Amino acid sequence: MIEFRIDRHSGVATYLQIVHQTEQALRMGMLEPGDKLPTAREVVEATAINPNTVLKAYRELERSGLVEARRGLGTFVRKSLGSAAADSPLKADLDDWARRAKEAGLDRDDVAALFGNALEAHFSTTTKGTP
């Protein structure tokens, strides 16, 4: 089961953090169709956030077709995303890179900036030479 981590200093709305973490878990194969998400009460107990925030996140996930609420049963995953397997050799390479970045003295924000820059350079549709 997914455990949400809320970063109150990130500048990202709490409900969006839940949405993004759920999407990431779907991409990584940590959540699969049929899996049940934690109840709003469980998320509130674990994170000390407002129950309406959890419900807003779950409604957003439902609107996007990723989950479905079943009255009296809970919220369940409808479909997966992407193909980034958790056991992919690329994940091992990225884990190694992140470890080396930390050992080199970079903090989380530095690493995020570097990685974000690399993503932009290689995946932006406005970058020259990108198909």
Kindly give the confidence (pLDDT) of every residue in the chain, 131 residues in length, as a single tens digit, with 9 standing for 90 and above.
Answer: 899 999 999 999 999 999 999 999 998 888 999 999 999 999 999 999 999 999 999 999 999 999 999 999 999 999 988 766 666 778 788 889 999 999 999 998 889 888 888 888 888 765 444 44
pLDDT for the residue 1: 80
**Number of C-alpha atoms within 13 angstroms, CB side, residue 125?**
0
What's the predicted TM-score (pTM) here? 0.71
d(CA 58, CA 56): 5
pLDDT for the residue 63: 97
